[in-house]
Structure 1
Amino acid sequence: MNKNLLQSLNQTLIVSCQAPVESPLHDPYVIAAMAKAAVLNGAAAVRIDTPAHITAVRQQISAPIIGLWKQQIPGYDVYITPQFSHAEAIAKAGADIIAIDATLRERPNQEQLTTIITQIHQKLGKLVMADIDTIEAAISAANAGADIVATTLYGYTNQTKHLSPPGFQLLAEMREKLQVPVICEGGISSPKMVKQALEIGAFAVVVGTDITGIDAKLKAYLS
């Protein structure tokens, strides 16, 4: 695993380049163009969904890719890289860091969080970014061996759906209680908010919709 890669992200901006499946922007060529534009304009890394998109992006940039694969598995709410097989596919596609759902929700095939993180480390040689929703999940992820813990799912689970991201309070608590780098992701909608997250103690900040979410941004203007 490349610890120097992790340090290269310290105090940086990471751009999530994703689009709804029904959007014309979902085309791998378009996602790759977004990612290249983000890196050329200063993003330290990008966050990309699906093996096809990661493959396309890898052909365009050498900057770090945080890869994930959203998969809806019947009977389970966990959907961000839910199983090792999904992690393996995105690693082969070119991801440097594997993002996984690390909430305390039940996992498919009862695959334990510690198990999937260990497999990603040992079999794939990749760093793990744990997407969490609560401080309990954050602590659990760190104890399970995650290299990075992020507030990605704050406000998006049944336990936190009454809360609105960004999770600055959760971020502060994570910074206080965890020894691993903590990333602020979700709900960041201005440069001022990025600065605020870094001041709270974020290792890095991920911005998605406010930079690359044309579909969602347009709907907001028309609502």
Structure 2
Amino acid sequence: MGNRSIITNIHQNLIVSCQALEDEPLHGSEMMAKMAQAAKEGGAIAIRSNSATDVAAIKKQTGLPVIGLVKRNYSDSEVFITATLKEVKELLAVKPAVIALDATIRKRPNDEVLKDLVDYIHENSDALVMADIATIRDAEYAIECGVDMISTTLSGYTSDSPKLEGPDFKLVEQLAKISSIPVIAEGRINTPEQAQKMLDLGAWSIVVGSAITRPQLITQSFVKGIQMNEALPSI
């Protein structure tokens, strides 16, 4: 597989997630390409991006390897990250280095099966497959289906995973000990210290998104912090 070198390149390095949904201020491929360029200049080694159009724009702008996904809601399933073959084909058309998809044990739309999607990607491209998981059980299932790497993206966002304020350090530590493939730490990593802790626990690399690329959320965190300070009694 031609893209396998990305596994070596991302080791102990930072991947930045550049995503903005339709209801967000920075939505649009031109904006995301510029955001990705800023991440590249800051030292990001790869970009994670939503939609085929954004993937294509970011590849052209930065030349960095892109981890592509498509978020789409379906009425018959909670799975929405590259949920079906339709989304896989959209991504294959723009040739991302990696395709990320929901690899939880949850029912997929149209009763599609994870292993079929993984096999299709491997048989029809040189793209690798990143499995977005929430639990150890999900990870074991994904590995059985032949994925190339695991990301803890969905921890805290499924009914069977813990709801945490911060990153799921425990899950990353457990996976690093048992997984035969790289474990990517992703989800609520908000500081360089948290990122380094993930690497110390055995994460292969780190994905950071909102803390870098969603200014409305970054601003919100400052506003909340100020309001909390104002609420403290004066001494």
Which residue of the partner structure matches residue 202 of structure 2?
Answer: 201
Which residue of the partner structure matches residue 88 of structure 2?
Answer: 87
- Whether the 8 Å contact between 2:134 and 2:157 is mirrored in structure 1 is yes
The one-letter amino acid paired with 1:89 is E
Please state whether the residue corresponding to 1:46 is helix, strand or coil: strand
Which residue of the partner structure matches residue 38 of structure 1?
Answer: 39
Please state whether the residue corresponding to 1:15 is helix, strand or coil: strand
- Whether the 8 Å contact between 1:67 and 1:91 is mirrored in structure 2 is no
Q: How much has 1:125 moved relative to structure 2?
A: 2.4
- Segments of 4+ moved more than 6 angstroms: none
Please state whether the residue corresponding to 1:152 is helix, strand or coil: coil
Please state whether the residue corresponding to 1:25 is helix, strand or coil: coil
Q: How does 1:177-196 map to 2 (within 5 A)?
A: 177-196=178-197
The one-letter amino acid paired with 1:30 is M
Q: How has the CA–CA distance of structure 1 residues 172 and 161 changed in structure 2, closer, same or farther, with 3 Å as cutoff?
A: closer
Pairwise CA RMSD: 1.3
- Whether the 8 Å contact between 1:97 and 1:126 is mirrored in structure 2 is yes
Name the CA distance, whole Å, in 1 between partners of 2:174 and 2:191: 22
Which residue of the partner structure matches residue 169 of structure 1?
Answer: 170
Q: 5+ residue gaps in structure 2?
A: 225-235
Q: Which moved more, 1:86-95 or 1:25-34?
A: 86-95
The one-letter amino acid paired with 2:99 is I
- Whether the 8 Å contact between 2:15 and 2:206 is mirrored in structure 1 is yes
The one-letter amino acid paired with 2:61 is Q
Which residue of the partner structure matches residue 155 of structure 1?
Answer: 156
Percent identity over the alignment is: 37
Name the CA distance, whole Å, in 1 between partners of 2:163 and 2:183: 23
Q: How much has 1:220 moved relative to structure 2?
A: 3.0
Name the CA distance, whole Å, in 2 between partners of 1:31 and 1:96: 18
- Whether the 8 Å contact between 2:36 and 2:47 is mirrored in structure 1 is yes
Q: Deviations over 1:43-88 (max 9, x none)?
A: 0000000111112111101111000000101121000000122112
Q: How does 1:74-113 map to 2 (within 5 A)?
A: 74-113=75-114
Name the CA distance, whole Å, in 2 between partners of 1:111 and 1:187: 29
Q: How much has 1:161 moved relative to structure 2?
A: 5.3
TM-score normalised by length of structure 2 = 0.91
Q: Deviations over 1:150-202 (max 9, x none)?
A: 10000011222533441110011111111000000001011111110000000
Name the CA distance, whole Å, in 1 between partners of 2:163 and 2:12: 29
- Whether the 8 Å contact between 1:58 and 1:94 is mirrored in structure 2 is no
Name the CA distance, whole Å, in 2 between partners of 1:30 and 1:3: 29
Matched, 1:28 2:29: yes
Name the CA distance, whole Å, in 2 between partners of 1:61 and 1:134: 33
Which residue of the partner structure matches residue 129 of structure 1?
Answer: 130
Name the CA distance, whole Å, in 2 between partners of 1:128 and 1:15: 17
- Whether the 8 Å contact between 1:171 and 1:182 is mirrored in structure 2 is yes
Name the CA distance, whole Å, in 2 between partners of 1:159 and 1:113: 19
- Whether the 8 Å contact between 1:154 and 1:165 is mirrored in structure 2 is no
Please state whether the residue corresponding to 1:67 is helix, strand or coil: strand
Name the CA distance, whole Å, in 1 between partners of 2:78 and 2:166: 19
Q: 5+ residue gaps in structure 1?
A: none
The one-letter amino acid paired with 1:39 is K
Please state whether the residue corresponding to 2:217 is helix, strand or coil: helix
Q: How much has 1:40 moved relative to structure 2?
A: 1.8
Matched residues, number:
223
